[in-house]
Structure 1
Amino acid sequence: MGLKLFLKENIFFIIFQLLVDLFILSLYWLDGFRNLDTAVYSIVISMVLIVSFLAVRYTLRRNFLNKISNLPVSMDDALQKNAKTAEHLQTEAYLQELYRHYQHEVQNLYAKQNRQEKFLNQWIHQMKTPISVIELLLQEEEIDKSSIQEEVDRLKRGIEMVLMSARIEKFEEDMQIEQVNLKEIVTATINDNKRLFITNHVFPMIDIDENITVATDSKWLKFMLGQFITNAVKYTFEPNKKVKIYVEKDGTKTVLCVQDEGIGIPKSDLSRVTKPFFTGENGRRTGESTGMGLFLAKEICGKLGHELVIESEVGKGTIVKVVFS
């Protein structure tokens, strides 16, 4: 197989050499073949040189040609290093680097797939709780509509979470950057979560100038704010506490802050709260955390060109900041 491939690779070179020999013969023919021995000698020497050259060339390329002539059984077969020429050494280096990129992409793909499967399984398990509560409430003689609505809201937040998690894989197709009025977005998000505030006896406070605008995607920003607010309320166990949402200026940058008066995040967990499925001590206390909210927020900020900063102190609360460039 290697020799056959070598001949195919050099067929034009062989044809060219034959044409050169015919050209030499034509010159002797035009000269009347006065030096026939010289003509024959020239052709023989030419053929010996070309055959010797091809033989040496084939010897150097044989291992490489044999390798690429047979389909590999495994990646180890394809990546064996047995080239001897500069061209083939560079080809093998190219294949090694290509394989490295391939492995990296495959690992990322498997990581995303495993993350989605784990998140979906965890999400389905958690969604069983509000469904079970609703079923129990419906069995009572007097239906408590407010309690049912609370569980429906939990279902809505869970569905929104899983939808956004699916959409983030094709984020660029779903992104629309425009100038967004921060106060309008914050107010709308607060209104969407007003029952959550009422149920947990936590009060929102908005301190944002009506004229402040930032370049971002309103839908994704609203989703992030919903995660920050949900966490702020969920981890505020004492009644009559506040969640303050305000804007700071850091030079030319606009910083949107969501500050709560909850239990705070331990220092040991603070650097890991944006990792997928990390719930930490607080998540284990509530039993409702998927560990995906802040991870998705971090991913969204990165894709939008924003920065996510989280500051917290146990017993005093947490501040989540989105820095707009």
Structure 2
Amino acid sequence: MGLRLFIREHIPFFVFELLVVVFILSLYWLDGFRNLNTAIYSIIISLILLVSFLLIRYFARTSYLNKITQLPKTMEDALQKNAKTPEYIQTEQYMHELYHVYQMEVQALYEQKSRQEKFLNQWIHQMKTPISVLELLLQNEGPLDKKNVQEEVDRLRRGLEMVLVNARIERFEEDMQIERVNLKAIVTETINELKRLFITNKVFPVIHIDEDLTVASDSKWLKFAISQFITNAVKYTFEPNKKIIISTEASDGTILLHIKDEGIGIPKSDLTRVTKAFFTGENGRKTGESTGMGLYLANEICMKLGHKLTIESGVNSGTTITLTF
């Protein structure tokens, strides 16, 4: 197979040699074949030179030709280095880099699939809690407690919203629309949607944002990120009558949005990892309701929108999340 491939590859050389022979004979024919022996000698010399060149070329490429004419059984077989010529050495290097790119893409797809499966399993497990509570409320023979029902429905709604965002985050660019959005309007709308969560936890929002302040962002995705920040702020404020202070400030041509709570804070050991997927930390284990995906998704959205996210916190001193536009 290797020899056959080599011959097929070098057919132009044989055609060229044939043209050289015809050219030499034509010259001597025009000269009247006065020195025919010299013509024959010239043809023989050119043939010897061609055959010698092809033989040297063939033996230099034998291992490489044998390699590419046999289907590899393992990837290690395909990545063996057998080339001896600069061209084939470069080809092998290209194949190794191509395989590296392929590995990175496969690993990214595997991680994405694994993350989706793990999140879905955790989400299904956590959604059993509000469903169980609803079933107990419905089985109660007394009057239906609409307040508790609404709380569990809200938990289901927030869980559904998170799983939908997680499913769409990989195709974020297809659903992104950057425009000037009113920051106070988005924050106010988000707080109104979470008002029952505030009331249940006896936490109060305080907004210090100018009415006309606008930023360049996607209103839908930004709203989800802010919702996650506020939800976490409320959820980890265990004492009643505490505040969630949402304010803005201008600095060097940028707008800073601060979301500050008076909750239990984040341990220093967890602070650098709270935006990692599935990381719940000490606080998540205290509540038992954390999926470890809220801040991860919010951070991913902020990065894709080009908004810098910083988190400052300390144990029992609250947490301040800052978005830089």
Aligned to 2:167: 166
SS at match of 2:27: helix
Deviations 1:139-198 (A, max 9, x none): 112110110010000000000001001111001101110011100000000011111111
Given residue 114 of structure 2, which amino acid in structure 1 is its aligned partner? N
Q: How does 1:203-214 map to 2 (within 5 A)?
A: 203-214=204-215
Deviations 1:60-110 (A, max 9, x none): 111111111122222111110011001111111111111111111111111
Aligned to 1:236: 237
Q: Distance in 1 between matches of 2:20 and 2:100?
A: 45
Q: Distance in 2 between matches of 1:65 and 1:174?
A: 49
Q: Distance in 2 between matches of 1:76 and 1:197?
A: 59
SS at match of 1:179: strand
* Of 6-15 and 130-139, the range deviating more from structure 2: 6-15
Given residue 162 of structure 2, which amino acid in structure 1 is its aligned partner? M
Q: Distance in 1 between matches of 2:34 and 2:181?
A: 94
Shift of 1:310: 0.4
Aligned to 2:31: 31
Aligned to 1:183: 184
Shift of 1:250: 2.2
Aligned to 2:52: 52
Q: How does 1:106-117 map to 2 (within 5 A)?
A: 106-117=106-117
Q: Taking structure 2 as the reference length, what is the TM-score of the superposition?
A: 0.98
Given residue 6 of structure 1, which amino acid in structure 2 is its aligned partner? F
Q: Distance in 1 between matches of 2:217 and 2:72?
A: 49
Q: How does 1:67-106 map to 2 (within 5 A)?
A: 67-106=67-106
Shift of 1:311: 0.5
Given residue 81 of structure 2, which amino acid in structure 1 is its aligned partner? K
Aligned to 1:147: 148
Shift of 1:32: 1.8
Q: How many residues align?
A: 324
Q: Distance in 1 between matches of 2:134 and 2:174?
A: 37
Given residue 283 of structure 1, which amino acid in structure 2 is its aligned partner? G
1:323 paired to 2:320: no
Q: Distance in 1 between matches of 2:249 and 2:61?
A: 67
Q: Distance in 2 between matches of 1:53 and 1:144?
A: 93
Given residue 290 of structure 2, which amino acid in structure 1 is its aligned partner? S
Deviating beyond 3 angstroms after TM superposition, the runs of 4 or more aligned structure 1 residues are none
Given residue 14 of structure 2, which amino acid in structure 1 is its aligned partner? I
Q: Distance in 2 between matches of 1:50 and 1:101?
A: 40
Aligned residues with identical type, % of pairs: 70
Deviations 1:28-52 (A, max 9, x none): 1222211111111111111111000
* Of 96-105 and 231-240, the range deviating more from structure 2: 96-105
SS at match of 1:19: helix
- Residue segments in structure 1 that go unaligned for 5+ positions in a row: none
